[in-house]
Chain A
Amino acid sequence: MSGKSKGASPPRFGKWLLESFCSYDFLSTALWDLDELFQINVETRGVYMARLIYLREAIGIIFYLLFRGKSQYSINKVAMLKHNILISIRSFKKYKSTFLINLFGLSIGLASALLIYLWVNDELSMDHFGEKDSQRHYQVMVNTNYQNGVQTEETTHGPLSEALVSTFPEIDYAVPMITVPWYEGMLSSQSEFIRAVPHFATQEYFNLFRSEFVAGSKAGSLSDKSKIVISEKMAWRLFTSPDEAVGRTVSFKGYQFTGPYIVSGVFSSDNENSLDFDVLFSYDLFLEENPGFRQWDHEGTRAHLVMNEGVDIDAFNRKIKDFLKTKIEDSNQTLFVQKYSDKYLYGKYENGFPVAGRVVYVRIFSLIAIFVLLVACINYMNLSTAQAARRIKEIGVKKALGAQRSTLIYQCFGESVFISILSLILAIGFVILLLPHFNQITEKTLSIAQAAGLLIPILIITLITGLVSGVYPGLYLSGFKPVNALKGKLRGDSGALWIRQGLVVFQFAVSVVLIIAVIFTYIQIQYMQNFSLGYNNEHLLVFKKEGKLRESSDAFLEAVRSIPGVTNISHMSGSLPGKISGGSDVQWKNQEEEERDIDFSFIEGDYDMAALLQVELVAGRFLSRDIATDQTSVVLNETAAQLTGYENPIGERIYFDEMLTIVGVVKDFHFDNIQAEIAPFFFKVNQNGKNFVVRLRAENQRETISKIEDLHHAFNPGYPFELNFIDEQYDKLYKEDERIATLSKYFAAIAIIVSCLGLLALAAYNTQRRFKEIAIRKVLGSSNSAIVQLLSKEFIVLILISILIAMPVGYFLVKSWLDGFAHRIGLNPSYFIAAGALMLAVALLTVISQTAKTANMNVPENLRND
């Protein structure tokens, strides 16, 4: 052969494939041909194509060898593999129910593991953007030291990012951002207004965050104050298509600023990003509209930093810790930076350090996936070992013919891997079916296409599942002595029995623990949703006070009040739960110095807000429109009243930007998440409230709402009417917990079903083995119930043991979960008993359904069979 180009060698993988499948004689023939072909192809089509063709041909050869060829061309292993698969298929055909239970159990286990894997993978990759500088992307966090602990926030002082860049050479550049939704406004292209959440950032934003543009160009898209970038969704709503949108002018109407802006780009809506916004303005525009943010006394900017390559972050954190003290006198705040991509999963802070946040759920569900899969593997182990007698002759013959133990173990592995691959196919079917529902629960957009990207890990999971399932049967079955095996005698079975029973106990213990977890999560969420807030949050409707309604709302208020289904309407600055104003530096008589740092919350609104919310008055009175001085009066809550230390607070005064007279005290109520400690709080009058709050009567709400909507359209044309119910907003606070509860419910159900399937098969096998004994017992006059008892007793004892084991495990798990809640349910023992009883009932039903069938059998028929 001539013209060998240098360095061009056939792919090693292809060679290795052939070597591991072909017999020696055939190998050299095939390799010769392939090499020659390779050389020809290198010359005619280039090295890359030649290698590709080589691989394809090699795979083709193996395919033909395995399925079409003669066994003498392939090595022994391949021949054995063919033989083993054949034996497996025959045994599947012969023992259909065992096969189906194994297949079904493993595929349910695999399907749930796959779903969880997709979810976990999505969580782990959240906020990993892979843009140019994403790897060096850090965010500055601020720790504020209070008397009762450290609070960590991401809002920083306006000029901080600039100051950091000019002081520390470790920083490459900074991207200041405003990501709070308060600046919300509306966009329009013609007359229709669409609500939009704006964020503000500099051009370098696109170096850090993933943002595919569907139209327009990224470069320079925020270089000008008049340029904006909008989301694909917005583009479709405002214009006929994203391409149409680029270069067009839209007008923005917000609380702070309004004006025309030019759309310079449209970003794709399916960016995986924990930030959620519709329109991106330039940060310079923000500074222009809010010049105060150039001063150190304004907070609210997020400081995103891009560090230089190879900076020691710990050392850097030590350097910037006290940076604020050089800028602001007696500051009680310290700084640190956190890698941005870590923030999503480690977004909880204790004592000023990031700790595991969402990642806890990732861990919990990974564990659940592993346990459910283990439960399914155990089914397989138990069934294969319990039915060893069916295989004993085959094993005896093989051993007598000189099969080594390792060969038999391989055979078991082969069978278990084979069945788990079959299960994988079924599992993928399940996943495709369940994915829409799963997405709905988890609020993700997972797709089976994503799973295709994870093919190799999924195959590895499947392989491990097969190996774990096969390891015990392999060791057990291959250990028979040939002579005994040929005689059909099983080895002293007590060891295997023990292991089998242990595995059943493990399976059911897992199920019981899951049941306990489900019961407690559900009751805890119920408890939180029905928690008495201290005011009546039912039938409370909130919608925006904007447009014309901001200037003159009296006529509108009167019109709404006259609707029969409305009890009252008022307005306030924020909304409940939690979105209300706050501030520190509240002063009162005989105040301790550090008490000025304490944060107060307050509702600024119309006079009758307190009455509308139906909070309980303890002393004094509510604010009243008829009393002129109430412009500067406040109503405290009990916590605030206690804090001020006034013996009789009514008539006393506090100072907050102005002197305010205390006219009443209300009982503490939960204006935020019930898990949050109730802060000192007061009601105050402010006629510039941004939201209307309406209390409806319980009946005919739909009709009432449509009447309000008609009024809204009449008074405020062009503005969308969007409403929220406050009680629904409270429920949303527990959404994450509720999602966890729903998911654990499903996985608990799966664990129970799979364990019971295994139990069913074991019980069926056991009773079948004892047919003759039962028949004789019946002939001798034993009653059906006595036989059911005899057959079920063994299983029931196992279930009881597993319940006993599960109790303390469940207790500790549930306790550590509940400890995270300020208001939580007690660890009522009756719930544990209920969980145990449920498991016992399900298991009993499963076992008795089998044993009763046997007990009812026709005796002569069965005895005659032998």
Chain B
Amino acid sequence: MKKVTLGAFEELVLLATGTLQDNAYGVTIKMELEDLLKKKISLGALYAALQRLEEKGWVSSRIGGITEKQGGRRKQYYDITKEGVVALSEVRNMRNELFSRLPQVKIDWLKS
């Protein structure tokens, strides 16, 4: 079995999906991330990441917002799942763990 990993970009997308709560879909996630990262994100890349996350079971999607105005088009909303949260915290723990092992003296010295 392949070890399931969370890529850096996927992690950001997953986080954004979580923070947006009920209003997470293509455009909002894109704009949230663009605001945060101060760089352009292609919708295509976002869809690809969401697809992979969905495959891994870390986000779920639901259909909503079918209106006459949009010509029968639908919004695909995404939500973070329980497994997603677990994966996020695992990555975070691992990072914290590594970070805490950085010698404090060196950090202080580099910061000064």
Contact with B along A63-76 (1 / 0, CB 8 A): 11100111001000
- Tell yes or no: A710 within 8 A of B by CB: no
Task: Report if A19 contacts B (CB, 8 A).
Answer: no
Residues of B within 8 A of A31 (CB): 73
Q: Residue of B at shortest CB range from A64?
A: B44
A752 to B42: give the CA distance in the assembly, Å.
50
- B92 smallest CB distance to A (angstroms): 26
Q: Are A30 and B47 in contact (CB under 8 A)?
A: yes
Q: Tell me if B45 and A60 are in contact (CB < 8 A).
A: yes
Q: Give B3-37 interface residues, CB cut-off 8 Å to A.
A: 25-27, 30
Q: Which residues in chain A, 30-60, are within 8 Å of chain B measured between CB atoms? A: 30-37, 40, 56-57, 59-60
B51 at the interface (CB under 8 A from A): yes
Q: How far is the CB of B53 from chain A (nearest CB, A)?
A: 12
Q: Are B74 and A28 neighbours in the complex by a CB distance under 8 Å?
A: yes
Task: Name the distance in Å between A283's Cβ and chain B's nearest Cβ.
Answer: 59
A859 at the interface (CB under 8 A from B): no
Q: Is the CB of B45 within 8 A of A69?
A: no
Determine which of A32, A57, A70 lies in contact with B55 in the assembled complex, contact meaning CB atoms within 8 Å. Answer: A70
Within 8 A of A (CB), among B58-112: 65, 69-70, 72-76
| Residues of A569-588 whose CB lies within 8 A of B | none
* Nearest CB of chain B from residue A37's CB, rounded to whole Å: 5
Interface flags for A105-148 (1: CB within 8 Å of B; 0: not) read 00000000000000000000000000000000000000000000
From B42, B55, B73, name the one whose CB has the most chain A CB atoms within 10 angstroms.
B73
Number of A-B residue pairs at CB separation under 8 A: 65
Using A29-B75, A29-B76, A57-B42 as known contacts, say yes or no to A35 and B70 having CB atoms under 8 A apart. Answer: yes
Tell which of A28, A33, A68 touches B43, judged by Cβ atoms closer than 8 Å: A33
* Contacting pair B44 A62 (CB below 8 A): yes
A61 CB within 8 Å of chain B: yes
| Nearest chain A residue, comparing its CB with the CB of B77 | A29
Give the number of residues in B that approach A within 8 Å (Cβ atoms). 20
Report B24 CB to chain A, min CB distance, Å.
12
Contact indicator B47/A61 (Cβ below 8 Å): yes
Residue of B nearest to A54 (CB): B43
The answer to whether A57 and B51 touch (CB under 8 A), given A28-B72, A35-B73, is no
CB distance from B2 to the nearest CB of A (A): 16
Whole-angstrom CA separation of A276 from B65 in the bound complex: 70
Pair A28/B47 contact, Cβ less than 8 Å: no
Query: Which of A29, A36, A63 contacts B44 (CB under 8 A)?
Result: A63
Bound Cα distance A73, B79 (Å): 19
A32 touches B75 (CB 8 A): yes
Which of B26, B44, B73, B75 is within 8 Å of A65, CB to CB? B44
Contact check: which of B30, B44, B73 meets A28 at CB < 8 Å? B73
User: Which of B30, B51, B74, B76 is within 8 Å of A37, CB to CB?
Assistant: B30
Contact residues of A between 1 and 48, Cβ < 8 Å to B? 1, 28-37, 40
Interface residues on A, range: 20 to 34
Q: Which residue of A lies closest to B42 (CB)?
A: A60
Establish whether residues B48 and A68, one from each chain, have CB atoms under 8 Å apart when the complex forms: yes
Contact status B30-A69, CB under 8 Å: no
Central interface residue in B45, B47, B69, B70, by most chain A CB within 10 Å: B47
Please name all residues of chain B whose beta carbon is closer than 8 Å to the beta carbon of A33 when the two chains form the complex. 25-27, 30, 43, 75
**Cβ contact within 8 Å between B27 and A37:** yes
CB contacts (< 8 Å) of A56 on chain B: these are: 42
Q: Which of A59-99 contact B (CB under 8 A)?
A: 59-65, 68-70, 73
User: How distant is the Cα of A256 from the Cα of B73 in the complex, in angstroms?
Assistant: 82
Distance in angstroms from B42 CB to nearest chain A CB is 4
Residues of A within 8 A of B73 (CB): 28-29, 31-32, 35
What is the chain A residue whose CB lies nearest that of B74?
Answer: A28
Name the interface residues of A657-712: CB closer than 8 Å to any CB of B.
none
A680 to B110, CA, bound (A): 100
Contacts of B27 in A (CB 8 A): 33, 36-37, 40
A31 to B70 alpha-carbon distance, docked (Å): 9
Among A32, A40, A69, max chain B CB count under 10 A is at A32
Beta-carbon nearest neighbor of B63 in chain A:
A29
Contacts of A36 in B (CB 8 A): 27
Closest B residue to A36 by beta carbon equals B27
* A311 shortest CB reach to chain B, Å: 53
Q: Considering the complex, give the chain B residue whose CB is closest to the CB of A66.
A: B44
- Contacts of B70 on A, CB cut-off 8 Å? 32, 35
- For A35, the chain B residues whose CB sits under 8 A away are 70, 73
Among residues of B, the one whose C-beta sits closest to the C-beta of A53 is B40
- In the assembled complex, the Cα of A60 lies from the Cα of B70 at a distance in Å of 22
Distance between B68 CB and nearest chain A CB, rounded to angstroms: 13
B74 touches A64 (CB 8 A): no
Contacts of A59 in B (CB 8 A): 44
Per the bound structure, the CA–CA distance linking A68 and B42 in Å amounts to 13
A63 to B42, CA, bound (A): 11
Q: Which residues of B contact A65 (CB under 8 A)?
A: 44, 47
User: How far, in Å, is A374 (CB) from chain B's closest CB?
Assistant: 40
Given contacts A28-B72, A29-B74, A70-B55, A34 and B48 within 8 Å (CB-CB):
no
Whether A34 touches B55, Cβ cut-off 8 Å, given contacts A28-B74, A29-B74, is no
With a cutoff of 8 Å between Cβ atoms, the chain A residues found around residue B76 in the complex are 29, 32
Query: Across the interface, do B74 and A61 meet the contact criterion of CB distance under 8 Å?
Result: no
What's the nearest-Cβ distance from chain A to residue B75, in Å?
Answer: 5
Are B72 and A37 in contact, CB atoms less than 8 angstroms apart? no
CB atoms of B47 and A32 under 8 A apart? no
Task: Report B31 CB to chain A, min CB distance, Å.
Answer: 8
How far is the CB of A466 from the nearest CB of chain B, in Å? 27
Report how far A702 CA is from B44 CA in the complex, Å.
72
- Provide the residues of chain B in CB contact with A1, threshold 8 Å: 69
Chain B: minimal CB distance from A192 (Å) = 59
* Contacting residues, chain A, for B48 (C-beta < 8 A): 64, 68-69
Structural contact, A64 and B55, CB atoms closer than 8 A: no
- Chain A residues with CB under 8 Å of B47's CB are 30, 61, 64-65, 69, 73
| C-alpha spacing A59/B43, complex, angstroms | 10
- State the CA gap A68–B45 with chains docked (Å): 9
Q: Quick check: A64 and B65 within 8 Å, CB to CB?
A: no
- B74 surroundings in chain A (CB, below 8 A): 28-29, 32
Taken together as a complex, chains A and B put the C-alpha atoms of A61 and B51 apart, in Å, by 12
Distance of A33 Cα from B29 Cα, bound (Å): 11
A73–B25 CB distance below 8 A: no
Complex Cα–Cα for A289 and B19 (A): 89
Which B residues are in CB contact (< 8 Å) with A61? 42-44, 47
In the complex, chain B residues whose CB is within 8 Å of the CB of A40: 27
Bound: A68/B43 CA distance, A: 13
Per the bound structure, the CA–CA distance linking A460 and B85 in Å amounts to 52
Question: Roughly how many angstroms separate A60 CA and B49 CA in the complex, as a whole number?
Answer: 13
Q: How far is the CB of B56 from chain A (nearest CB, A)?
A: 12
Which B residues touch A30, using CB under 8 A?
26, 43, 47
Docked Cα-Cα span, A32 to B64, in Å, equals 11
* A70-B26 contact, Cβ under 8 Å, with A30-B43, A35-B73, A60-B45: no
For the complex, give the distance between the alpha carbons of A60 and B48 in Å: 11
**B72→A64 contact, CB < 8 A:** no
Given contacts A29-B74, A32-B73, A70-B51, contact A57 B65 (CB under 8 A): no
Bound together, the chains give a CA A65 to CA B50 distance in angstroms of: 12
The answer for the CA separation of A68 and B26 in the assembled complex, in Å, is 17
Residues of B within 8 A of A (CB): 25-27, 30, 42-45, 47-48, 51, 55, 65, 69-70, 72-76
8 closest A-B pairs by beta carbon, nearest first, are: A33-B26, A64-B44, A60-B44, A60-B42, A61-B44, A29-B76, A64-B48, A28-B73
A-B contact pairs, 28 of them (CB 8 A): A29-B73, A29-B74, A29-B75, A29-B76, A30-B43, A30-B47, A31-B73, A32-B25, A33-B30, A35-B73, A36-B27, A37-B30, A37-B43, A40-B27, A57-B42, A57-B44, A60-B42, A60-B43, A61-B44, A61-B47, A62-B44, A64-B42, A64-B45, A64-B47, A65-B44, A69-B47, A69-B48, A69-B51
Q: 12 new A-B pairs (CB below 8 Å) besides A1-B69, A33-B43, A40-B27?
A: A28-B72, A28-B73, A29-B75, A32-B26, A32-B70, A61-B42, A61-B43, A61-B47, A62-B44, A63-B44, A69-B48, A73-B51
